[in-house]
Amino acid sequence: MKKIMLFVLALLFIFYIGCTSSISQIDLAGTWGGEHISLTVLDSTANLEFDCAHGTIDEPISLDSEGNFEVTGIYVIEHGGPIRIDETLKKYPSLYKGHIEGEKMTLILIFKNTETQIDTFWLARGAEPIIYKCL
C-alpha cells in the first residue's frame, strides 16, 4: 500500500511541476522567418528585416501566461539605391505586439506616435524568411 501511495504522490508531483511551468519561460532566441520578415531574437534585444525596411526591439521579449507579448522598438524605412553618407533614414518609434503558439508567432507592427497598425506578420521558428529588399 505504501508503494502505491508513493507512486501516486510521485505522479501528482510530476503533474504539478508540469502545470506550474510558465509559457513565459520559453526560450525565444534564434531566427524566426516568414513572408516579408526575418526576426533574430537575442537575450535582451531583437533585430528585424522587412521588405525595404529594418527594425530593432530594444528590450527582452517576455511572454505572459497566454503566450502574448508587447515590446517597444524602432522601425526604419529604407529605399532603393545607395544611402548617401549625409543621409539620415527616418526612424519610427514602434510597438511590436505578438503571440507565440508552439513554434509559430504572429507579430503586429504599430507606429507609437500615431497608433497606426502597419502590418501583421506570421513567422515560424527556424523558417527561411522571404524578403524582397529594395534595389
Cβ partners under 8 Å of residue 100, min gap 6 = 23, 26, 28, 63, 67, 69
Per-residue tens of pLDDT for the chain, all 135 residues: 565 554 544 444 444 444 444 455 578 999 999 999 999 999 899 999 999 999 999 999 999 999 999 999 999 999 888 888 999 889 999 999 999 999 999 999 999 999 999 999 999 999 999 999 988
- What is the pLDDT, as a whole number, of residue 29? 93
Which CATH number, 1.10.3470, 2.40.160, 2.40.128, 3.30.70, labels domain 23-125? 2.40.128
- What is the pLDDT, as a whole number, of residue 80? 87
Q: Is 107 exposed, middle or buried (0-12, 13-18, 19+ CB in 10 A)?
A: buried
Q: What distance lies between CA 62 and its chain's CA centroid?
A: 9
- What is the pLDDT, as a whole number, of residue 25? 55
Which of 88, 87, 85, 61 minimizes the C-alpha distance to 72?
A: 61
- What is the pLDDT, as a whole number, of residue 1? 59
Q: In the block, which residue shows the cell 506570421?
A: 122
CA end-to-end span of the chain: 75
